[in-house]
Amino acid sequence: MAILDVRNLTVDFQLDDGGTLRAVDGTSFTIDTGEVLGLVGESGSGKSVTALSIMRLLDSQAEITAGQILFDGEDLAEKSEAEMRTIRGRRIGMIFQEPMTSLNPAYTVGDQVSEVFRHHLHMGFGESKARAIEMLQRVKIPRAKETYGKFPHEFSGGMRQRVMIAIALACGPDLLIADEPTTALDVTIQAQVLSVIQDLQHDMGLALLFISHDLEVVAQLCDKVAVMYGARIMEISESTELFTSPRHPYTDGLLRSIPRRGQPLTPIAGTIFDLRTPPDGCRFHPRCPYAEDRCRRETPVLRVLEPAAANADTNDRRQAACHFPLPGTSGAGERKA
Amino acid sequence: MSEAVVSQAPPAPANAYVAAWRMVRDVIVNDRKAKIGASMLAFLVIVAIIGPYVAPHNVELPNTDIRLTGPTLLNIMGTDHIGRDLFSRIISGLTVSLMVATGAVVIAVIIGVPLGAFSGYQGGWVDTVIMRIMDAIIAMPGRLLAIALVAAIGPSVGALWFAISFGSIPRYARLIRGGVLAQREREYVEAARAIGEGSGSTLFRYVLPNAMAPVLVQITLNFPSAITAEASLSFLGLGLVPPTISWGQMLSAAQPYLEVAPWLAIFPGLALTALIMGFVLLGDALRDHLDPRYHGRRRKQKKGSA
Amino acid sequence: MLIRYSIRRALETIPTLFIISVIVFSLVLLIPGDRVLVMLGYSGGDIADVISPEVYKAMEIRLGVHDPIPVQYMRWLSRALQGDLGTSALHSIPVIEIILGRLPATLYLAFASIILGAVIAIPLGVAAAVRQDTWVDKLANGVVLFGLVTPGFWVALMLVLLFGVYLGWLPTIGYSAPQDDFVEFVRHITLPAVVLGLDFAANVIRFIRTDFLEQMREDYVRTARAKGLSERVVIWKHIFKNSMLATVTVLGFDISRLLGGSTVIETLFAYPGISFLLIQSIFNRDFATVQGVVLFLALLVIFMNYLADILYALLNPRIRYE
What is the mean pLDDT of each successive set of 10 residues along chain A, which is 337 residues long? Answer: 90 87 90 93 87 91 91 91 92 93 91 93 91 93 91 91 94 93 89 92 93 87 91 89 85 84 81 83 85 84 68 61 73 40
- At A92 the pLDDT is 94
Helices and strands (H, E) in chain C, number of each type: 15, 0
Task: Say yes or no: B297 contacts chain C, CB-CB below 8 A.
Answer: yes
Please calculate the CA angle C308-C311-C317 and round it to the nearest 5 degrees.
135
C228 and chain A: CB distance < 8 Å anywhere? Answer: yes
pLDDT at C64: 77
CB within 8 A of C48, min separation 6: which ones?
Answer: none
User: Is the CB of B144 less than 8 angstroms away from the CB of C217?
Assistant: no
What distance in Å separates the CA atoms of residue B77 and residue A118, rounded to the nearest whole number?
Answer: 66
Lowest mean pLDDT among B26-30, B90-94, C289-293: B26-30
CA-to-CA dists, residue B241 to A132, A334, B230, C265, angstroms: 71, 98, 11, 20
Q: Give the mean model confidence (pLDDT) for residues B255-284.
A: 90
| Residue B15 confidence (pLDDT) | 65
Averaged pLDDT, B254-281: 90
Q: Cα–Cα distance between C299 and C317 in angstroms, integer?
A: 28
Selected residue of C223, C230, C232 to mutate for chain A interface (largest A Cβ count, 10 A): C223
Which residues in chain B have Cβ-Cβ distances shorter than 8 Å to A21? 305
* Residue B207 pLDDT exceeds 70: no
Angle at CA B227, nearest 5°, toward C251 and B28?
90
Is B251 part of the contact surface with chain C (CB cutoff 8 Å)? yes
What is this structure's pTM? 0.80
Task: Compute the distance between CA of residue A294 and CA of residue A272 in angstroms, rounded to an integer.
Answer: 20
What pLDDT shows up at residue A245? 83
Would you state the pLDDT for residue A36?
94
> Of A115, B160, A138, B191, which is closest to residue C230 (Cα–Cα)?
A115
**Left if phi > 0, otherwise alpha if psi is -120 to 50, otherwise beta: which for B187?**
alpha
Instruction: Show contacts of B258-263: CB within 8 Å, 24+ apart.
Output: B258/C157, B258/C160, B258/C161, B258/C165, B259/C165, B260/B68, B261/B68, B261/B70, B261/B78, B261/B80, B261/B81, B262/C161, B262/C165, B263/B70, B263/B71, B263/B77, B263/B78, B263/B86
Distance between CA C102 and CA C120 in Å, rounded? 28
Name the pLDDT band for B206 (thresholds 50, 70, 90). Answer: low
d(CA B303, CA A24) in angstroms, rounded, equals 14
- Phi first, then psi, for residue A179 (nearest 5°) are -95, 95
Confidence at residue B107, expressed as pLDDT on a 0 to 100 scale = 95
Q: Residue B130: in which H helix or E strand, if any?
A: helix B124-139
**Residues in C touching B276 (Cβ below 8 Å):** 148-151
Residues of B within 8 A of A45 (CB-CB) are: 306
Q: Are A225 and A237 in contact (CB under 8 A)?
A: yes
Q: Quote the ipTM score.
A: 0.85
Closest residue in A to B297 (Cα–Cα):
A16
CB B62 within 8 A of CB B82: yes
Chain centre distance of CA B34: 15
Q: Helix, strand or coil for residue C191?
A: helix
CB-nearest to B302 from A13, A42, A47 is A13
Parallel, antiparallel or unpaired: strands A36-40 and A207-212 = parallel
A261-274: pLDDT as tens digits: 888 888 887 888 88
For residues B266 and B236, what is the distance between their CA atoms, to the nearest angstrom? 18
Higher pLDDT, B82 or A225: A225
* Chain A nearest CA to B301, separation (Å): 8
On whether the CB atoms of residues C22 and C73 are closer than 8 A, the answer is yes
pLDDT at B296 over 60: no
What residues in chain C have per-residue pLDDT under 70?
1, 41-51, 319-322
Please tell me the predicted confidence (pLDDT) of residue A328.
64
pLDDT of residue C258: 81
**Residues of chain B contacting A, Cβ within 8 Å:** 299-306
Interface partners of chain C (CB pairs < 8 Å, 3 or more) are A, B
Query: Nearest by CB to C228, which of A87, A98, A103?
Result: A87
Which of A275, A146, B148 minimizes the C-alpha distance to C281?
B148
CA distance B162 to chain C (A): 12
pLDDT value for B3: 38
What is the Cα B86 distance to its own chain's centre? 26
C315 min Cα distance to partner chain B (Å): 23
Question: Which own/partner contact pairs does B247-253 have at CB distance under 8 Å and 24+ positions apart?
Answer: B247/B90, B247/B93, B247/B94, B247/B96, B247/B97, B247/B271, B247/B272, B250/B80, B250/B89, B250/B90, B250/B93, B251/C153, B251/C154, B251/C157, B253/B80, B253/B81
| CB–CB contacts below 8 A, A to C | 73
